[in-house]
Amino acid sequence: MTSQIIYDGDQRTVCTHIRSGSVLETDAPVDNNGKGERFSPTDLLATSLASCMLTIMGMKGESMGLDMKGIKVKVLKTMASDPRRVSRIDLAFYFPENLSLVENKTKTILKNAGYTCPVAKSIHPDIEVVIDWGRWQ
């Protein structure tokens, strides 16, 4: 088993990772009758894409001898209605100076690693994903 989720009332869930005991809570967003005090489940969907991309890029970069610490990704999730769903995820990557100076071949390898992360491969094709590679453009 991966996790256990308990509904805590007032549109809040408590999610526990079984192996580590790590806990996170979710709330429904304000625009959907929630408190918006925590990540919403759809926030986690968009955030997991960025986290997964960074994880796979980190693995690849570190195997190439690169210091991958300090990469930042800002996430913007856009919702559609009828049916209510995530329609678009925008990711903006910000690279520390040491990584902005790597050669183009290395940049391509790292980007491709990000594109192949399991979450990216699991996102429905109806969800538009837009990536701004920041200083790498």
Element housing 121 (H / E) = helix 118-122
- Answer whether residue 45 shows pLDDT above 80: yes
- 137 pLDDT exceeds 80? no
Q: Is 93 exposed, middle or buried (0-12, 13-18, 19+ CB in 10 A)?
A: buried
Average pLDDT score over residue span 35-53: 97
- Domain range list for the chain: 3-32, 41-136
- How many other CB atoms are found less than 10 A from the CB of residue 25? 13
Q: What is the mean pLDDT of the chain?
A: 95
For residue 99, the model assigns a pLDDT of 85
- Provide the CATH number for the domain formed by 41-136 in this structure: 3.30.300.20
State how far the Cα of 38 lies from the Cα of 22, in Å rounded to an integer: 15
The percentage of residues in the chain with a pLDDT greater than 70, rounded to a whole number, is 98
Edge-first strand order for the sheet with 23-27 is 3-9, 12-17, 23-27
Lowest mean pLDDT among 31-35, 72-76, 97-101: 97-101
Q: Is residue 19 within 8 Å of residue 30, measured between CB atoms?
A: no
pLDDT reported for residue 6:
98
